Amino acid sequence: MTFLRNRAGLIVTVIGIAIVAFLLGDVVRTGAPFWASNQNQVGSINGETISYNDFNAQVDQTSAMFQQQMGGGSLTPQMKNYAVQQVWNQFVTKEILKQEVEKIGLTVGKDELNTLVSGPNPSYQIVQAFTNPQTGQFDKAQLNMFIGQLSSAGTPEMHQQWEMLLESVRDERIGTKYTNLVNNSLFVTSLEANDDYLQRNKLANFKYVLLDYSSIKDADVKLTDADYKEYYDENKNAFKNPEESRSIEYVVVDGRPTQKDTVATLSAIEKLKADLIASTNDSLFASINSDTKYPYTYLKKGQVSPALDSVLFTAAVGTTVGPYLSNGAYEIAKIKDATFSPDSVKASHILLNPTAEGGIDKAKAKADSIKSLLVKGESFAPLAIQFSQDQGSKVNGGELGTFARGRMVPEFDKAVFEGKTGDVLVVNTQFGVHIIKIENQIGNSKVVKAAIVDKAITSGKETIDAAYAKANNFFTAINKDNFKEQAAKQGLKEATAKRVLAMDNTLDGNEVPRELIRWAFEAKKGEVADKVYETDHTFVVARLVDIQPKGSLPLESVKADIETPVRNLVKARQLKEKAEAAVKGASSIDQVGQKLGKAPIQVENVVLANPVIPGVALENAVVGTVFGLQPNKPSAAIKGNQGVYVVQVNGFVNPKNQIDSEVKAQQKQLMASKAQRAWNSIFKALQDKAKIDDNRIRFF
């Protein structure tokens, strides 16, 4: 409800991402020594440590922001993990760039910062923080009022929020300076522009004959260690592991609800329905018996599940409807009242703190006095500025803007939506005592007060016990050598998750406890997990198959992953030999096709910038070769992605020559593209060069 508090998510987020927005495209993930000596360090960047307290505070703020965006629901493990990852990215990005800009001497002076705050063209973050919600325009008077309040009666919270905003403005400005430095170092020549123009507009028309890899059966190809080594040596850059990872073999035993559990839940909700019909205190009954604690208040259409929504607004008052199945739960509802209410309300308030006033009675007495002044015609804004403890809204004369039902706490909602335009009300909530003025009420729709009870379909004891027994039987039967054999024997599905990272919380999409991942990063290769791990619905048994260190992976670690391309490498040798024999002595692609028993296929209007052979695949090597050939001569055999090709160019269609203005436009376009790519390249270079220790796995 407060002005800057409402924008706290924006301020906190901007601090981390102001520079990231134009410097970082990919998720930052780096290796880590998981046995770091300092027990309080989440990590370090080039020697600058990240303390657990600082990091966790930021994670809590980001998690709270996610919860707010989700409507207040609890965070899933995946969302919490995403919050941890986002904060890590922000810390790493900010520290790397901070060290870089300090090295080259970039700063923001006092006068420059003042101009960014109160000059003719303030920072966009200042504009966002002090935009009038009614007009949607930047309100400089609001900014000046806040600065004045800060100087004369600013609370520690206000000063902290302001410093956070100023720090974010500084970061934004330094980022802009760094951007300008990089952009000024980029250049595109007219030759580069012309070459790019030709790549996009010069057309090639050609014929090809394809000997597909599938023409040789996999079973007929015997792979040797030399074949694997040849492919590995040719593609070493593809096997660089940016972060230490694990391969984990695992079995998941499902303990999700059975049909029997569903029937039991339905029976339970039917009994609750009978009790709800007979209840004389519906709100208490719902509070005690519902899995989800729905507010006992007026609801508008669209605020409940579609099944309830379809009947709640047409059934008679006193009716109990349901049960309906929605999102894994059965729902019932007893309709207590129905009326018509505004769709939204515009209101202002003055908030009094009972503690500061000497108790709730004194706060209410003071509120009544302020209300009397307002009823007699006193202006609301000066009183709000003088008395309100809501530091955000008081700078705006107490205005809260226009809001829909459900945006405020229930007591506040009830007052403004059940009152009338012009009413001045005193209301007590968890935040304190409010003097509220209803400025305007907009719209008029049917609302319903209902006691809603739901029961989630959960696994019963019998289901859970059976699943655990199955997992435990498997766990007691396995050792480091018989994991696959026992899984097959017991009818369980075994799988292997490759390249599992320290901050993952799934194995091939299957949710697993973080505890299991921690075990994997402490275990030795081949070890079986120390216990059966549990989630809400499953039991997991695991074995550590492999450890992939950060850096270039050895051949043995990637051997299983490269079997298909290695087999194609061997097939390519055989097919190239066959194709070269056909090319020998042939004067045209048609003659090559005759020898191979394949009719050449005609292709038209292929450009180098998009090296796709229509109907086949992306073939960089083949199309690249085409643009280097003389017309009307069959090429040598070319190894491609889909097979081995022989091609013959029929001719090229050259585009018209560009005039000077077109060349300049092409240069400008390439410059923009190069500038956009430069940020990722520069940051990646800084990141690769940085010494980054990541110890998050010990804390999260």
Q: What is the pLDDT of residues 274-299, one digit of tens each?
A: 999 999 999 999 999 999 888 888 88
pLDDT at residue 99 greater than cutoff 50 = yes
Provide the mean pLDDT of the chain: 88
**Class of the CATH-defined domain 241-256+460-558:** alpha beta
Query: Which of 293-307, 379-393, 534-548 is modeled with the greatest confidence?
Result: 534-548
pLDDT tens digit string along 564-614? 999 999 999 999 999 999 999 999 999 999 999 999 999 999 999 999 999
In the structure encoding, which two tokens stand for residue 188, read together? 């595109």
| 129, containing H or E segment | helix 124-129
pLDDT at residue 45 greater than cutoff 60 = yes
pLDDT at residue 14 greater than cutoff 70 = no
Average pLDDT over residues 465-475: 96
- Identical fold, 241-256+460-558 and 344-442: yes
Residue 138's region, left for phi above 0, alpha for psi from -120 to 50, else beta, is: beta
In the structure encoding, which two tokens stand for residue 60, read together? 């809590």
The residue extents of the domains of the chain are 3-184+691-698, 203-235+562-653, 241-256+460-558, 259-341, 344-442
**Cα–Cα distance measured from residue 473 to residue 470, given in angstroms and rounded to the nearest whole number:** 5
Question: Which has more confidence, 632 or 680?
Answer: 632
What is 203-235+562-653's CATH number, 3.10.50, 2.40.170, 3.30.780, 3.10.620?
3.10.50
pLDDT tens digit string along 266-277? 999 999 999 999
**334: three-class secondary structure by DSSP:** strand
Going by C-alpha positions, the residue among 507, 504, 535 that lies closest to residue 518 is 504
Paired sense of beta strands 240-241 and 638-639, if any? unpaired
pTM given for the model: 0.67
What's the pLDDT at 17? 35
**263: three-class secondary structure by DSSP:** helix
In the structure encoding, which two tokens stand for residue 592, read together? 């090559």
Average pLDDT over residues 465-483: 95
What's the pLDDT at 592? 96
- Band of residue 151 on the pLDDT scale cut at 50, 70, 90: confident
pLDDT at residue 234 greater than cutoff 60 = yes
Could you tell me which CATH number the domain at 344-442 has? 3.10.50.40
What's the pLDDT at 293? 86
Going by C-alpha positions, the residue among 83, 144, 148, 100 that lies closest to residue 119 is 144
What's the pLDDT at 10? 36
- Band of residue 72 on the pLDDT scale cut at 50, 70, 90: low
pLDDT at residue 24 greater than cutoff 50 = no
**Cα–Cα distance measured from residue 142 to residue 137, given in angstroms and rounded to the nearest whole number:** 11
Least confident of 273-277, 319-323, 671-675: 671-675
What's the pLDDT at 30? 35
- Band of residue 7 on the pLDDT scale cut at 50, 70, 90: very low
| 660, containing H or E segment | helix 660-689
Going by C-alpha positions, the residue among 538, 515, 541, 539 that lies closest to residue 527 is 541
pLDDT at residue 20 greater than cutoff 70 = no
Question: Phi first, then psi: what are they for 428, rounded to 5°?
Answer: -100, 130
Q: Please, which residues have CB within 8 angstroms of residue 369's CB and are 6 or more apart in sequence?
A: none
What's the pLDDT at 77? 77
Q: Which amino acid is at 15?
A: I
What's the pLDDT at 140? 86
pLDDT tens digit string along 201-222? 999 999 999 999 999 999 999 9
